[in-house]
């Protein structure tokens, strides 16, 4: 993508992001479904058709924005002004589950040498139970080729202890790196959008994971993280449904 891209521009141009943008707004309206139906001008019996109505109408953004303007949510103006040509803004639109999968793949890439070194059957099974068999295969077969120098970025993102102690500690380190990487992305957004992004992430557990990644990362680390995100979103089969975000 080149140039800036607002929500209105994405919908007007039929950009692949238009559906996720409308889905994001619909999700925000889900807390007040009756008011949202009235704001959209849809009768109550059409609740099941709310999503199709949004995705097929370029006017939906303006209508939904008008409804939100009445309640004045603090994030709306920042969302409408956001530049969705920037990767962090696009990632904010990802459904929570997909965002967490992406985060895990970031952590797995950074710690792929340790994942490939798991030998004991119970360690391999624990890793697969935590992230899935496809993620384990990715760690062993493809992740080593996604970044030339993953160790430096791993050190920056991983705020925990540095010595591996089998699968449990490796799983914790991957989870820490995943949250830290996504937190770094959120840190580049306007504060209201930063909070929306972070709300999708699991709450940190324990003092060793309560530390956020440095935001912003230095230029080299941020470049490496963005390069990794783009590769994951465009090359991994689990990420293909989210091609619009690459």
Structure tokens at 175: 């989870």
Q: Is the pLDDT of residue 30 over 60?
A: no
SS3 category, 160: coil
The pLDDT, as a whole number, for residue 210 is 44
Q: Which helix (H) or strand (E) holds 101?
A: helix 96-110
Q: List, for residues 69-96, the tens digit of each pLDDT value.
A: 555 566 777 888 899 999 999 999 988 8
Q: List, for residues 45-61, the tens digit of each pLDDT value.
A: 544 555 555 555 556 65
Structure tokens at 210: 């309560």
Q: Is the pLDDT of residue 169 over 70?
A: yes
Q: List, for residues 117-154, the tens digit of each pLDDT value.
A: 998 999 999 999 999 999 999 999 998 888 777 778 88
d(CA 118, CA 123): 6
54 Cβ neighbours under 8 A, 6+ residues apart: 22, 23, 25, 26, 40, 60, 64
| Mean pLDDT for the stretch of residues 198-207 | 74
> What is the chain's mean pLDDT, rounded?
78
The pLDDT, as a whole number, for residue 211 is 47
- Of all residues in the chain, the percent with pLDDT exceeding 70 is 71
The pLDDT, as a whole number, for residue 214 is 47
More confident residue, 25 or 194: 194
| Mean pLDDT for the stretch of residues 60-73 | 60
Q: Is the pLDDT of residue 184 over 70?
A: yes
If one counts every other C-beta atom within 10 angstroms of the C-beta of residue 116, the result is 14
pTM above 0.85, yes or no: no
Among 68-77, 93-102, 107-116, name the one with the lowest average pLDDT: 68-77
Q: Is the pLDDT of residue 37 over 80?
A: no
């Amino acid at each position: 993508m080149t140039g800036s891209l607002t929500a209105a521009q994405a919908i007007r141009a039929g950009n692949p992001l238009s559906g996720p943008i409308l889905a994001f707004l619909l999700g925000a309206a889900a807390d007040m479904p009756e008011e949202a139906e009235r704001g959209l001008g849809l009768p109550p019996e059409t609740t099941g058709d709310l999503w199709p109505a949004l995705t097929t109408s370029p006017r939906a953004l303006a209508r939904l924005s008008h409804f939100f303007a009445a309640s004045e949510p603090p994030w709306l103006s920042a969302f409408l002004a956001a530049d969705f040509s920037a990767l962090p803004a696009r990632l904010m639109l990802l459904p929570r589950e997909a965002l967490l999968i992406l985060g895990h793949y970031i952590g797995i890439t950074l710690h792929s040498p340790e994942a490939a070194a798991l030998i004991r059957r119970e360690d391999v099974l624990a890793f697969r139970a935590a992230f899935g068999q496809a993620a384990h295969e990715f760690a062993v077969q493809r992740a080593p080729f996604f970044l030339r120098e993953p160790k430096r970025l791993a050190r920056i993102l991983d705020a925990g202890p540095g010595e591996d102690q089998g699968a449990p500690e490796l799983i914790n380190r991957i989870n820490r790196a995943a949250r830290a990487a996504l937190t770094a992305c959120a840190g580049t957004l306007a504060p209201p959008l930063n909070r929306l992004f972070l709300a999708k992430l699991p709450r940190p557990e324990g003092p060793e994971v309560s530390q956020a990644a440095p935001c912003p990362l230095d230029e080299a680390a941020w470049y490496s993280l963005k390069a990794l995100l783009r590769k994951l979103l465009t090359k991994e089969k689990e990420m293909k449904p989210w091609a619009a975000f690459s």
